[in-house]
Structure formats: structure tokens, C-alpha cells
Structure 1
Amino acid sequence: MISPLSTRIRLTGAGVLAAAALALPGCASFQDATASMSTLGGLITPYRIDILQGNVVVREQVQALQPGMSREQVRNILGTPLVASAFHADRWDYVFTLRRQGQEPQQRRVSVFFDGPLLQRVEADELPTEEEFVASLDTRRRLGRAPALEASEAQLRAFHERYNTGAAAASDPPAPAVPPGTSYPPLEPR
């Protein structure tokens, strides 16, 4: 004879299993809902760090490679390879990935092939120039062109005339010199 308590436990267990089975397909939408609530409806997004992996190789570096270069010359131009396999001793792989919040991930690959000690050929994805790569890193709003960091002779003369820097330096009294023979105590006890 089956007791009413064991029947109740079996029905409760079956109910829990059925509820779990029904809830599993909704987990993804539940996670989306909790993520949306934790960011105040998507108005605030949590900060995620940039993830940079591998070697940055730009178009100018690959263009500097010439067949017949030694491994050392290639290493001086591209840096140490990310992958240098013992099974593929005549192949170096340079892999680069960059993941930033709010941007599509960047991924590039350059493979360098050697014939013995000398460079044979290079296979590479479409690479940006150095200027394009640096521009892709700067996500801030640009406020205009950067000022020139050098001054012409005329600009330097105008600056000296305006602020009278040459005359002020000549009219300043010289710093007092330390009289000869002044002795100071030793820095450490003897």
C-alpha cells in the first residue's frame, strides 16, 4: 500500500522536474532581461577593458620584407613571432586580435615562410597602415587638427620679443656662488 505522503513527494518531485524542464529554454531570455535590468534598461553599460593579444604588424612593416632576408632581419622588422612551431620550423605566424567595447573585433594574421635560413615569402591579411591603425585606436571625438610641434625662426623671434625672454634672462642677477672651501658634514656617520 502506498502512503499518501510518498505519493505527495513523488508528485512534488515530478512537478519540480517539469518546471525545470520548462524554464530551461527561457534561460537565455532571462539572462538578457537581467542584463538589461542591471544596466538600467540599457542606459548605463559596464566598462569592459580592451583585450589586445599578439603582435601589431602594419602594412609598412610587411612592405619592408624582401625575399632572401635572414631570420634575424625579419625578427628585427616584425618582432618575435607569436607562433613558431617545432613541426613547422620554416614558418612563423604573427597573430593580432583587439577587442574593444563598442567596436567590431579586429583580427589579422601574417605568416612568414623561410627556405632554410632565408625568407622565401609572406602571406598576410589586409593590413592597415600605421596611421590607420593609430586612428582606429583613438575612439574619442576629434577636436580638429593637432597643432604643429615645431616653431620657425620667425615664430621664435616673435615669442622672444613678445615676452622679452632674452632681455629678462640677461638682466636677472646671477645666482650666488658657493664660496670655495665650504665644507659640508658627511652623509653617513663614520
Structure 2
Amino acid sequence: MSLSSPFVRPSLAIAVAAALSGCQYLPSLPTSTDRFLGVVTPYKVEVVQGNVITSEQAAVVKPGMNRAQVRDVLGSPLLTDAFHVDRWDYVFTIRRQGAEPQARRVVVLFEGDALKSIDTGGDLPTEREFVASIDTFKTSRNAPPLELTPEQLKALPAPARPALVEAEPIGPVRTYPPLEPTTP
């Protein structure tokens, strides 16, 4: 069939008109809800960018540390600038469905290779506070404790020590003359 057929053009016009008439309803939806047509909740992609820096990590970083030590504690910075080589910016943002969006910025300044200062921009959350803030289940969990009690430590079996086995030399075995002359 071609577009010149007497049935194709009217059918196409009706389909386009029906599709466009549905668009008139969409702008009148309330924007304060996350529901589509009042029934369906669309999936929102969880977006996490940057480095999570907790108060425990920031407490470890001390003036005088070199760049490698700071990188070991805080991770690689999200932003480094060729024009400001003595400044590292750690930016963190998270948007998670069911949790409040979060944004933090930590600025680390160096003098040469030594850490000069760290600006956290306010109080950073502890690791537990951060996990609680992004926990969307909000139910009590019966998770086991992360540390063993002294009684549990005593009940653990002693680690087995492997027996030392003389290894056969690999390759040819060479003998060398003594380094000092022998006296009779």
C-alpha cells in the first residue's frame, strides 16, 4: 500500500490526532507527586557521584601528610585543576529514591607535596549516620554484631601452622669453591 491509498491517509491522520490529544492531559498532572496518572510510580535511577568522605576519614587526615597518604585515606579527588595544582576537590552527590538528596564538598589544600589544610564545609556524617541516611528500608534489621565478644574469640580454634617442607632446588645445582683459602 502507498500513502496515496484512500484508506492509509485517513487512518494515519486519526492515529496522529489520537496520539496528540493524549498530550493535552499530561501538563495538567500535579508536579508535586512522583506518580504518573496517579497510579504508576516510575523507576528513578539512583545517581551516586564522587567520593563519600566520612568524619572518621577526615579525622585521619593531618597536616603534613603527603599526597599519596591523603589519596590512600580519601581516595582520588573528583576534581583536580591544572591551574590550581595544590587544590583537590572531593565532591559527593547522591539521589536515591525514598531518601533525601545529599551533596557535600571537601577541599584539600597542599603546600608543595605536604597537606596544608582540609575544609569539610561543616560537619561530615559518621559512616553509620551516612548508611542510615540512605537506608530506604527503615526497618529494624537483625544483623549480627561486627565484632566478636571475648568469649567468642576464646572459642575460636588456633590457626593451623603449616609444616615446613624442604623444597627441592629448581634447576641445576652448582657448587662453588670456598671464598677464603683453606689452611691445613
- What TM-score comes out, normalization by structure 1 length? 0.58
Aligned to 1:133: 130
Is 1:78–2:78 an aligned residue pair? no
Superposition pairs for residues 32-71 of structure 1, below 5 Å? 32-33=28-29, 39-41=36-38, 43-71=39-67
Is 1:146–2:143 an aligned residue pair? yes
Per-residue Cα deviation, 1:136-160 (whole angstroms, up to 9, x for no partner): 222103135423465846xx7xxxx
Give the total of aligned pairs. 126
Determine helix, strand or coil for the equivalent of 1:62: helix
After superposition, the CA RMSD in angstroms is 2.8
> d(CA) in 2 for partners of 1:93 and 1:110?
6
Deviation at 1:32, TM superposition (A): 4.4
- Runs of at least 5 residues in structure 2 that lack an aligned partner in the other structure: 1-22, 156-184
Aligned to 1:117: 113
Q: 1:107 aligns with which of 91, 103, 117?
A: 103
Per-residue Cα deviation, 1:76-109 (whole angstroms, up to 9, x for no partner): 0000011110000000000000011233210000
- What TM-score comes out, normalization by structure 2 length? 0.60
Per-residue Cα deviation, 1:94-141 (whole angstroms, up to 9, x for no partner): 000001123321000000000111000011123110111111222103
Q: Which has the higher helix share?
A: 1
Give the letter aligned to residue 41 of structure 2.
Answer: T
Give the letter aligned to residue 121 of structure 1.
Answer: S
CA contact (8 A) 2:62 2:115 kept: yes
Q: Residue 32 and residue 95 in structure 1: after superposition, are their counterparts in 2 closer, same or farther (change >3 A)?
A: farther
Give the letter aligned to residue 131 of structure 2.
Answer: V
Deviation at 1:30, TM superposition (A): 4.8
> d(CA) in 1 for partners of 2:98 and 2:139?
17
Aligned sequence identity (%): 50
- Runs of at least 5 residues in structure 1 that lack an aligned partner in the other structure: 1-26, 157-190
